[in-house]
Amino acid sequence: MGARDRIRDFFIANVGKVLTTQKIRKVGGISEYARRIRELRDEEGFQIKSHVDRADLKSSEYILETLERKPVISRAISPQLRNEILERNGFTCQLCGAGPGDQDPFNPNRKVRLHVDHVKPISQGGTDDKGNLRVLCSACNQGRANIQPPSDTALNILARIRKLPRSEQQEVFDFLKQKFQTEE
């Protein structure tokens, strides 16, 4: 039995429980447990979540949420295509407007991470066509965000603010800060 099999069995036996990397490493007998977990997730569709997906998990913790498996996505899009989509979308989440370096609204200790998402999922026949790709932040990608999508206008403005020099951004920040402090 290989390391992946042992780690799979370990997760299945502890479904719904938080497991530490320390234990997983012990069970797997390897230091490359992270790669094995990725394989279980990407190649076998196991819904193993980490601190990237859930704010309540520490960086050393994983959980198999359910025995139900997700349809497997056979391959990731190429780094070139990924970059193209990121640039096209102004490195901005197309649902909430978050950008890299912004604080993750669900975990103040983390920065937002951007993903390239399939509008129509591969599992439902979606393709890697550019029109089917968009940038989402980790929160929106996980469907955790409970925010109304901003209007095109708001997105455009955010994208423009990102391109401004720091001093100009500071001015915008001061303006908004003052506005919202006054309203409170």
Other residues' Cβ atoms within 10 Å of the Cβ of residue 13: 11
Query: According to CB under 5 A, which one of 37, 40, 48, 95 is a site residue for Zn ion?
Result: 95
Q: Does 140 bind Zn ion (CB under 5 A)?
A: yes
Tokens, residue 52: 């990237």
Instruction: For Zn ion, give the closer residue by CB, 27 or 139.
Output: 139
184: helix, strand or coil: coil
129 Ramachandran zone, left/alpha/beta (phi>0; psi -120 to 50): beta
Closest CB 34 distance from Zn ion, rounded Å: 25
Closest CB 105 distance from Zn ion, rounded Å: 8
| Residue whose C-alpha is closest to residue 51's, from 40, 63, 39, 43 | 63
Query: According to CB under 5 A, which one of 98, 116, 133, 158 is a site residue for Zn ion?
Result: 98
Instruction: For Zn ion, give the closer residue by CB, 24 or 140.
Output: 140
Closest CB 103 distance from Zn ion, rounded Å: 12
Triad 15, 124, 142: Cα angle to 5°: 50
Query: According to CB under 5 A, which one of 7, 27, 37, 93 is a site residue for Zn ion?
Result: 93
Instruction: For Zn ion, give the closer residue by CB, 64 or 140.
Output: 140
Number of amino acids touching Zn ion (CB under 5 A): 6
Closest CB 140 distance from Zn ion, rounded Å: 3
Query: According to CB under 5 A, which one of 7, 24, 27, 96 is a site residue for Zn ion?
Result: 96
Residue 11 · residue 40 · CB < 8 Å:
yes
DSSP 8-state class, residue 20: E
Virtual torsion, Cα 134, 139, 145, 151, nearest 10 deg = -30
Q: Does 137 bind Zn ion (CB under 5 A)?
A: yes
Q: Which single residue is written with the structure tokens 């359910």?
A: 66
Instruction: For Zn ion, give the closer residue by CB, 98 or 158.
Output: 98
Closest CB 70 distance from Zn ion, rounded Å: 21
- H or E segment and range at residue 115: strand 114-118
By the criterion CB under 5 A, which residues form the site for Zn ion? 93, 95-96, 98, 137, 140
